[in-house]
Amino acid sequence: MIARYSKVDLLCLDEFGYLNLDKKGARLLFQIFTEREECKATAVATNSPFAEWDKIFADPRLCAAIADRITFRCTLIQTGTESYRFQSTEADRQSTAR
């Protein structure tokens, strides 16, 4: 599995942080990030700030190591706290109410 996810040019992880990872899963993810570091692109989308990532991973040290791996030489894009889906629904609702 590590080899499989290490080879793709762009690995996209969406909704990162909604499921807690046990130690085995966190170690696997760490190994994948380590293999990809500085040679392949990884995109991570999450609504969880880094300060809450310790709840995702069973091991705080492993959590710090994962955050370190994916933020090294990264471009961090923060889009805010408003949900795009919610804004779209509200806009549709307002346009049909007129």
pLDDT score of 78: 82
Is the predicted pLDDT of residue 97 greater than 80, yes or no? no
Domains of the chain: 2-97 (3.40.50.300)
- The position carrying tokens 């942080």 is 17
Indicate the pTM of the whole model.
0.74
Closest by CA position to 5, among listed 45, 32, 37: 32
- Token pair, residue 98, equals 């007129």
Segment 35-92, tens digit of pLDDT: 998 899 999 998 888 888 888 888 889 999 999 999 999 998 887 767 777 788 888 8
Determine the Cα–Cα distance for residues 38 and 74; give it in Å rounded to an integer: 10
Say how far apart CA 22 and CA 6 lie, in whole Å.
Answer: 21
Q: Give yes or no for a contact between 15 and 46, defined as CB atoms under 8 angstroms apart.
A: yes
